[in-house]
Amino acid sequence: MLTVTPLSGTIGAEISGIDLAAASDAEIAAIRRIWLDHNVVFFRDQTLPPAAFLALARRFGSPIEYPFVKGIDGFAEIIPVLKLPHERVNFGGIWHSDTSYLDTPPMATMLVALDVPAYGGDTLFANMYLAYDALSDGMKQLLDGLKYVASSAKADVSRTREDRIRDGARNDAKTLYEATHPVVRTHPETGRKALYVNTAHALRFDSMTEAESAPLLGYLFEHAVRPEFTCRFRWSAGALALWDNRCTLHNPVNDYHGQLRSMHRITLAGDRPV
């Protein structure tokens, strides 16, 4: 039987009592229901070499390739999420929803830990349903129907991927990806509204300049990650996280300089935000 332990009062749950590599169809369906309720779910002590990890991902959706970095040998859909002991900047170390600069961003991300530091390297998650719900009626009215431009080229997030591009850039990667999305999106499975901007990728509002957009975007970036909307997960070797990019932001904390952190990541195809 699955045991579900919430990580906070607003987002995240740890699921125990299951070997994901041998999960039944009924267990996968139950996990999906729990995931939709909690935005992100976590599992400990899983044995998921690349073939098993990819097979598991296919039971939740359609794995897609990351646009900038090549996958590991033999598995184009699995990318290394790595920080070496001599490196100072971590991959994706900023609040974001994965690759939201694509026209059809991934619905979900799966991340499994291989090597973890003795301390540090936790990941924070934020609930974008609650971020939207907590806005005033006037702000909701302003934001509903508003669109923004998401870009892969914002300076902070570009810096967090530099090491991995140097080590394993895709030959067919474009230099820039941009897409226009609604500031508030409706989740296609739950029907709930979620704030859908993040500091890593939201560049400006559609038909506005960056300078004109900055004050309101800055407010939304800070509002979205208020502590009461978040949870924090401490990794262990063999731990796996599955999060919903349509209603969740995440931020890997870069507080473990001099230590190795190595993980494998798969993203699952989504639909165009509306």
CATH code for the domain in which residue 264 is found:
3.60.130.10
Residue 273 counted as domain residue: no
The single residue of 38, 96, 185, 246 carrying the catalytic annotation is 96
- For residue 139, what pLDDT is reported? 98
- For residue 161, what pLDDT is reported? 83
- For residue 142, what pLDDT is reported? 97
250 is known as an active-site residue: yes
**Residue range of the domain that includes 150:** 3-268
- For residue 177, what pLDDT is reported? 95
Q: pLDDT in tens for each of the 274 residues of the chain?
A: 899 999 999 999 999 999 999 999 999 999 999 999 999 999 999 999 999 999 999 999 999 999 999 999 999 999 999 999 999 999 999 999 999 999 999 999 999 999 999 999 999 999 999 999 999 999 999 999 999 999 999 978 888 888 778 788 887 778 899 999 999 999 999 999 999 999 999 999 999 999 999 999 999 999 999 999 999 999 999 999 999 999 999 999 999 999 999 999 999 999 999 9
Residue 236 counted as domain residue: yes
- For residue 181, what pLDDT is reported? 98
The single residue of 98, 185, 246, 264 carrying the catalytic annotation is 98
Residue 180 counted as domain residue: yes
201 is known as an active-site residue: no
The single residue of 185, 246, 250, 261 carrying the catalytic annotation is 250
- For residue 241, what pLDDT is reported? 98
Structural domain count of the chain:
1
Residue 274 counted as domain residue: no
Residue 274 tokens, joined: 């509306």
96 is known as an active-site residue: yes
